[in-house]
Structure 1
Amino acid sequence: MTLRHMKIFVAVFENSSITKAAKELHLAQPSVSFSIKELEDYYGQRFFERIGRRIYPTSAAGDFYGYAVHIVSLFETMEKELKNGDELGTIRIGASITIGTHILPTLVKTFQEIFPDIRMEAVVNQSAAIEQHVLHNHIDIGMIETQPVSDAVCAVPFLEDELVAIVPKEHPLAGERGVTLSEMARYPFLMREKGSAGREILDACFDMEQISVRPAWESSSTQAIVQGVAKGLGVAVLPDLLVRRDLEQRVVFRAWLLRPIHRKLNLIYHKSKYFSKSMTTFLELCETYGKTKESEEQGGNDR
């Protein structure tokens, strides 16, 4: 059982196809099929069920993939580290939409000033998608607004954010303190799309208070929701990071919730991930950023 076997297995698993894996690896299809058979014989496990012209991974394949994808990655990292030190190469970052919009650009700029020769690749998507990228080793470090689902993913909180209620100018709740979600729910609600981190948290809060809300609007665009609120089409609850500027510019107005909704923003990575010096530095930058922001917030509150 060799590294070559693992690379072939990872390609077959990710493509769900012998043919596509062979093409990706520039190998003959029979060679790929034979390598998979050797793996199955070696471990005494069936990794793929062959039904018609398609193959389907078994549960054993999923278990093996969790190890193989990171062993292959670790080998490739070793090659890069030994040949180039830590001054070259690529670091792959994933971020949820809120973090990718308001936090990631600052962190990337700071990182590139420290490691100007390291290429940074970033993907911005929903938190659940970022976790899947971490699991499949498509990115090295993720930054999400929720807790990861998989036990194979480690999470480190680096910043706390709040969901704030926003209403139109002249709205009865504008500037009111001690507003409840039940009071908010009496008005048309403009909400983020299903699957977004903010929507999941808000839905959970509604469920806890046994409130039934049918959104008047659903959108993946925070600005579309903010503009809808500004035009008097309804109310919304959105991350403070996304609406702070609109509140400061008085585009929309705040209703102070009786029970503030706080959440932790997390750095995530696979528990088997090997960290190079540059990756460790990025984690430290994130943690420093979080402490700085929280200190600024505390200072503002004291004033």
Structure 2
Amino acid sequence: MNINALTLKQLRAFTSVARLGTLTAAAEELSLTKGALSVALHELEKQLGHPLFDRVKNRLVMNSYGQQLRPLADELLQRTMTIESLFGQGNLAGTLNIGASYTVGEHLLPMLVGNFMQRHGCQRPHLIVENTSHLCQLLESYELDLALVEGQINSQRLMARPWLQDHMLVVAAPGHPLAQQTDLPINALEGENWVVREAFSGTREQFDRRLAPLLDNWQLGLEFNTNTAVISAVASGIGLGFISDLAAADALCCGRIVRLDLQQSWTRQLNLVCAADKYQTPLMSTFMEYALQWQGLQNVTEERIS
């Protein structure tokens, strides 16, 4: 094995194919011909003495050797950006790949990223909004640098740091029989239809783990993969909803839905998550520390009150 012959071009070829799954897509991303990319990948496998991918129809699927190389290659490439940053007159080099679960992505991420870019003048990050389960998969495969999520993190391969706290509300259409009542006990919700988020979302996890076990009898009305659809269905009288205060704020303000006055309340933890073994570039580290100190949720609340 000639480890000294490894090149950054080869590692970039490997990580791009690992992420995208095909030579065609990777070649387009790296602005290379498909032939040049194939040669770089072949040379890397030859120098390491092992194939890194299994050829499955038209896709390349990482095998166990590729999975071992992936975090090491990612770190080496990230460290090259550290060198660029070190000699780049203080600029934070590179581009972050940031994920957010739906509630965070729709209501907090735009302000957070906008504030960060104004302060640090970095490149525009790549953003993706998905449910928590999918974001965890992307983090584990190194397709994301970090994610801001509302769901539980159960993978030992991921590191979660507490970020902000959010409140969960039970909401109803203004004409619902419970809408005008106060100090409601939990059993007042028995027998109701519910409009919920899809399985594996952070909001659905909260419903399944914290509210549903308190009810002996509840019916599924409808299930959606966006908060907006849930709110619209609740407003039309299809059923009650269990949703974030952030997501419900505008609809509550204009009277489309109302918050039920319950004796019990729920607070959930939002987390900042990354792969436990991922190398943190200066840009990534700076963004994470900025996010952990960010007071944007308070700003959102103040804007809502005013």
Q: TM-score, normalised by structure 1?
A: 0.79
- Structural mapping, 1:77-88, within 5 Å: 77-86=82-91
For the 8 Å contact 1:173–1:179, the answer to whether it is kept is no
Q: Indicate conservation of the 8 Å contact 1:162/1:239, yes or no.
A: yes
Letter in 2 for 1:90: T
Cα displacement string for residues 108-144 of structure 1 (whole angstroms, at most 9, x for unaligned residues) = 2322221235433322222233333333444333211
Deviations 1:237-277, CA, capped at 9 Å, x for gaps: 1111111232233322222444423211111223323241x
| Contact kept? 2:159, 2:273, Cα under 8 Å | yes
CA distance in 2, matches of 1:102, 1:19: 36
Amino acid at match of 1:177: D
Q: Is the Cα contact below 8 Å between 1:140 and 1:269 reproduced in 2?
A: yes
5+ residue gaps, structure 2, are none
For 2:291, the aligned partner's letter is C
Q: Deviations over 1:17-71 (max 9, x none)?
A: 46765675541635532421332x2xxx664345677654333432332332232
Does the CA contact (< 8 Å) of 2:81 and 2:93 recur in 1?
no
Mapping 1:241-252, distance limit 5 Å: 241-252=246-257
Residue 100 of structure 1 and its aligned partner are, at CA, apart by 1.5
Taking the aligned partners of 2:58 and 2:292, their CA distance within structure 1 comes to 49
Name the amino acid aligned to 1:37. K
Return the offset for 1:88. Answer: 5.4
Runs of 4+ aligned residues of structure 1 deviating over 6 Å after TM superposition are none
Please list, as runs of the form range in 1=range in 2, the aligned pairs for 1:196-211 lying within 5 A after superposition.
196-205=201-210, 208-209=213-214, 211=216
Is the contact between residue 103 and residue 246 of structure 2 (CA under 8 Å) also seen in structure 1? yes
- Alpha-carbon distance change, 9 to 207 in structure 1, aligned in 2, over 3 angstroms: same
1:36 partner amino acid: E
Q: Cα deviation per residue 1:169-223 (whole Å; 9 max; x = unaligned)?
A: 242322432432x543512211112232101221223564475655211122323
What does 1:135-174 align with in structure 2 at a 5 Å threshold?
135-174=140-179
Q: Describe how 1:1-303 pairs up with structure 2 within 5 A.
A: 1=3, 2-4=6-8, 5-17=10-22, 24=30, 25-26=32-33, 27=36, 29-39=38-48, 41=49, 47-50=52-55, 55-86=60-91, 89-116=94-121, 118-174=123-179, 175-180=181-186, 183-205=188-210, 208-209=213-214, 211=216, 213-271=218-276, 272-276=278-282, 278-290=283-295, 293=298
Q: 1:210 to 1:164 in 2, by over 3 A?
A: closer
Alpha-carbon distance in structure 2 between the residues aligned to 1:49 and 1:89: 30
**Contact 1:159-1:291 at 8 Å conserved across structures:** no
* Secondary structure of the structure 2 residue equivalent to 1:74: helix
Counterpart residue identity of residue 38, structure 1: Q
Q: What SS does the corresponding residue of 1:166 show, helix, strand or coil?
A: strand
1:235 Cα deviation after fit? 0.9
* Amino acid in structure 1 at the alignment position of 2:127: A
Cα pair 2:22 2:59 within 8 Å, conserved: yes
Alpha-carbon shift at residue 236 of structure 1 (Å): 0.8
* Cα distance in 2 for residues equivalent to 1:88 and 1:238: 38
What SS class does the counterpart of residue 215 from structure 1 fall into? strand
Q: Which stretch of the first structure deviates more once superposed, 201-210 or 16-25?
A: 16-25
Cα drift, residue 290 of structure 1: 4.7
**Alpha carbons 1:49, 1:55 under 8 Å: kept:** yes
Structure 1: gaps (5+ residues): none
CA distance in 2, matches of 1:83, 1:285: 21
Answer whether contact 2:189 2:215 (CA < 8 A) is retained.
no
Given residue 76 of structure 2, which amino acid in structure 1 is its aligned partner?
Answer: I
SS at match of 1:154: strand
In structure 2, how many angstroms separate the alpha carbons of the residues matched to 1:84 and 1:241?
39
The separation in 2 between residues aligned to 1:35 and 1:65, in whole angstroms, is 13
DSSP-derived class of the 2:193 partner:
coil
Contact 1:69-1:136 at 8 Å conserved across structures: no
In structure 2, distance between residues paired with 1:167 and 1:242: 14
Return closer, same or farther for 1:28/1:167 CA change in 2, 3 Å cut-off: closer
Alpha-carbon distance in 2 for matches of 1:56, 1:123: 23
